[in-house]
Amino acid sequence: MIWNLGSINADHFYSVPRLPGPGETLAATAFRKGLGGKGANMSVAAARAAARVAHIGAVGPDGGWARDLLLEYGVDPAIASVKTPTGHANICIDPAGENNIVLFPGANREISEDQIGQALTEASPGDFLLLQNETNGQAHAARMAKVLGLRVVYAAAPFDLDAVKEVIGHVDLLLLNEVEAAQLIAGTGKPIEEIGVRDVVITLGAEGCKWVSNTRKSQHLAPAYKVTPVDTTGAGDTFTGYLVASLDRGLEMEDALDLAQRAAALMVMRRGTADVIPDLKDIQDHDFSA
Ligand code: RIB
């Protein structure tokens, strides 16, 4: 089982002819809304990868729809209602599928230690705790998870060195993209091999991903599947949700990485975030050799 302490956002998508520069006003060519937040995306991805997942998070008085959708998507909601409005994200997407995102964290930063504690007391040793950096309470949850015998996975996004330092001593598997890995190396002055985490996975975009096992003292490179992206938003979250779900279901790391890469490849061919994350049948039905 996966316990995901994660953000829940209303995503507002703006298709733009190019990403706007400083001081620029740009008219969008299309607008859509959906369920998002790195945390919610990961929970939905894990559920679509056939894992049992509980989402620990918070929404405001305007967020009942998000809780209902998570439930509909197969996620157990351990979600508090708080007075602060639900988080939202304004996402600009250019014709190459690249994005930039402005976040309003809102209720995502109002999760109480009591709420985290109550949820995790139902966890069993060997379960996973998944964390990203769009909520409060990460260090508290990571400490408690280790006491309870859970495996802790931290996706260091959006990257913040202090936030990483607060949890890294409790983390079993650290997930970074290339930019985040460079930031971590620069910030700590240590190579990934000396960061003190057993397993580190670094996603490399079109180049695939690299698994650094600091216990085996080995590195494994998994190539990406070649696709033409229309929207890269949420692809990293899909990768993470699938990876953790696959490990939770007992797959070896190499196989889990391959499944996560397939899911992320399908995801970049879709517009949207949580609502459009592929399921296992979508992956099975797709010809990745084409
Ligand atoms: O990673 C994509 C996500 O980042 C979006 O769903 C948005 O809500 C932001 O959290």
Q: What is the pLDDT of residues 114-149, one digit of tens each?
A: 999 999 999 999 999 999 999 999 999 999 999 999
| 187-200 b/e (C-beta count within 10 Å ≥ 16 → b) | ebeeebeebebebb
For residue 139, the model assigns a pLDDT of 98
Q: In what order do the strands lie in the sheet with 218-222?
A: 76-81, 53-59, 2-5, 128-131, 151-155, 173-177, 199-203, 209-213, 218-222
Is the shortest distance between the CB of 231 and ligand 1 below 6 Å?
no
**Alpha-helical runs (H) found in the chain:** 38-48, 64-72, 113-120, 138-147, 161-167, 178-188, 235-248, 253-267, 280-285
Rounded Cα–Cα distance for residues 149 and 171 (Å): 12
Atom of ligand 1 nearest to the CA of 273: 6
Atom of ligand 1 nearest to the CA of 87: 8
Is the shortest distance between the CB of 235 and ligand 1 below 6 Å?
no
Is the shortest distance between the CB of 132 and ligand 1 below 6 Å?
no
For residue 206, the model assigns a pLDDT of 86
Positions marked catalytic: 237
Output the residue whose Cα is nearest ligand 1's atom 2: 234
Q: What is the pLDDT of residues 145-194, one digit of tens each?
A: 999 999 999 999 999 999 999 999 999 999 999 999 999 999 999 999 99
Look at residue 73 and tell me whether its pLDDT is greater than 80: yes
**What is the Å distance from ligand 1's center to 190 Cα?**
29
pTM for the whole structure: 0.97
Is the shortest distance between the CB of 108 and ligand 1 below 6 Å?
no
For residue 145, the model assigns a pLDDT of 98
Is the shortest distance between the CB of 238 and ligand 1 below 6 Å?
no
For residue 242, the model assigns a pLDDT of 98
Look at residue 290 and tell me whether its pLDDT is greater than 80: no
Residue 43 near residue 241 (C-beta atoms within 8 A): yes
Q: What is the pLDDT of residues 190-237, one digit of tens each?
A: 999 999 999 999 999 889 999 999 999 999 999 999 999 999 999 999
Look at residue 109 and tell me whether its pLDDT is greater than 80: yes
**What does DSSP assign to residue 193?**
G
The amino acid present at 45, given as its one-letter code, is A
Which mutation among 233, 271, 276 tests ligand 1's pocket best, with the greatest number of atoms within 8 A of CB?
233
**Residue pointed to by tokens 């998870």:** 145
Q: What is the pLDDT of residues 78-95, one digit of tens each?
A: 999 999 999 999 999 999
**Residue pointed to by tokens 């602060």:** 84
Rg of the chain (C-alpha set): 18
pLDDT, averaged across the chain: 97
For residue 40, the model assigns a pLDDT of 98
For residue 86, the model assigns a pLDDT of 98
